[in-house]
Amino acid sequence: MTAGVGGQSGHNISSFTEFLRVNAPDRLPGASTGGWVPGAAADQIPHGTTIVAVSYLGGVILAGDRRSTMGNIIATRDVQKVYITDEYSAAGIAGTAGIAIEMVRLFAVELEHYEKIEGVSLTLDGKASRLASMVRGNLGAALQGLAAIPLLVGYQPTDSTPEPSFGRIFSFDVAGSRHEERGGYDAIGSGSVFARSSLKKLYRTDLTADDALAVAVEALYDAADDDSATGGPDLVRRIFPTAVRVDADGARDVAEPEIADAAQAVVDRRLAAHEDGGDRR
């Protein structure tokens, strides 16, 4: 076994990312981008947006649209951008799709590896720190036009506080700096400015889980209305956003019929407002 950090053998390293950095650095996300010329063919690589997170008393909803683009071309209409990373956390991705998806999958392995080596799970703050380190490790690729930005959500159940608490949301910049969003919502991706504007108007601290899902879906709808890189609900193809709910019972995917109902409700409200002489845009 190749020697690890501090003279330890590789199998003693509790960080799987560090294990790869020591033993197989070519397997890390963004490791194969050497020689990339900034701006060269960047539009030929699929990029994914938009991700939103909405917290409520007892948990948090993470949702993402399904579109990826290559410049002005729709590359994929049904890409998966929201992933469960362990029992009490999930992450959504924006930016260069291939690197971002690889990063989140590696992050999930990182959390599982740590638990197997140490015998305990990382705290939510620890998970955010690990993901920040992984984002920082992709800085070289990001400076060459291959940025990958995650949005992390989670819930930290504790025996000492049986009362429910709000789910937590962490955002990151390309340099790996992390920020906990304490306002109850956040968004990343090219449509994030429009999604945040929608969330600002719709968010309330007394939201239920169902309310939070409805708010997230409507924010994605508003983002798609103004950002061509964000895909709205496709009622013809039956393609809807994907979402994950994280609460004291763990992280789980929201069923597609539930998301479809929320999307249909948004469309029906907008149609009714249009027919009544409201917003005709």
Catalytic positions are: 49
What does the longest C-alpha to C-alpha distance in the chain come to? 72
Q: List Cβ<8 Å contacts ≥24 apart for 209-213.
A: 209/56, 209/58, 209/59, 209/61, 209/245, 209/247, 211/56, 212/54, 212/55, 212/56, 212/59, 212/60, 212/61, 213/54, 213/61, 213/63, 213/243, 213/245, 213/254, 213/258, 213/259, 213/262
Q: For residues 99 and 139, is the Cβ–Cβ distance under 8 A?
A: no
User: Is the four-CA dihedral 226, 71, 133, 64 of positive or negative sign?
Assistant: positive
Read off the DSSP letter of residue 225: H
Spatial distance between the Cα atoms of 198 and 125, rounded to a whole number of angstroms: 28
